[in-house]
Amino acid sequence: MAVNALSSAIGRRELQHGLLAVVSVGSVVSLPCPASAARYLSEVNAMGKKVKALRATVRQGGAVEELRSLVQKESDSLLKKNLAVAMAAIAPGLGLPEDSKASYPAQQQRVEVLPLLLKGHLLELDQALADKKGFDPYISKTTKLSYPGGKVERELEEVEETVDEFLQLASISSASTNNLKKK
């Protein structure tokens, strides 16, 4: 592939954000450079800890409007803008095993879907925050678990679980082991 064709296939922003282009059989796939990937994985881990702390705060209760303001602020500044972006940036380069015979989604496919699921959970969190009863104690019809922090706490739990699953899958990746864990 000629350099001009390669440079036109890779956007300026991809190059500026430290993405590495890999050419294979006439196609270009963007993968994060190891240094960028390690930074993103570190960010996902740090943000996951913040989600856990935020959920614990909501679970403890307090003045509803203060909690709503805190969760909204964290959701807007941290979660929506950074978490899904960081997850989406490193997911394609993890190189997890593909298993077409498995009845469950292949690990690589799953890790690439998790940022999209996260966005869905964040939308549900927005809905719970907008609901005047979003912080009222809630018992899940599906799991039968009790949430003293209401549906807001439940949605934060779903964000937390999505991040935890992503980090667990990233930890078994050979790319993660070789490149991403260098901090």
Is pLDDT larger for residue 161 or for residue 9? 161
Of the pLDDT bands very low, low, confident and very high (cuts 50, 70, 90), residue 8 is very low
Q: Tell me what the pLDDT averaged over the chain comes to.
A: 75
Burial of 41 (0-12, 13-18, 19+ CB in 10 A): buried
- pLDDT of 121 > 90? The answer is yes
Q: Residue 27 has which token pair? A: 């196609």
Q: Give the residue among 2, 41, 38, 33 at the shortest CA–CA distance from 16.
A: 33
* Closest of 28, 24, 25 to residue 6, by C-alpha: 28
DSSP class of 2 = -
Q: What is the pLDDT of residues 80-109, one digit of tens each?
A: 667 888 888 888 888 777 665 554 568 888
The pLDDT tens digits of the residues spanning 135-150 come to 999 999 988 999 999 9
Residues of the chain above pLDDT 70, percent: 67
C-beta separation of 94 from 117 below 8 A:
no
Which contiguous run of DSSP H or E holds residue 147? strand 146-147
pLDDT of residue 138: 93
> Is the pTM of the predicted complex or chain greater than 0.85?
no
pLDDT higher than 70, residue 156? yes
Q: Where are the beta strands (DSSP E) in 11-139?
A: 19-24, 27-32, 138-139
Query: Average pLDDT in the 167-182 region?
Result: 64
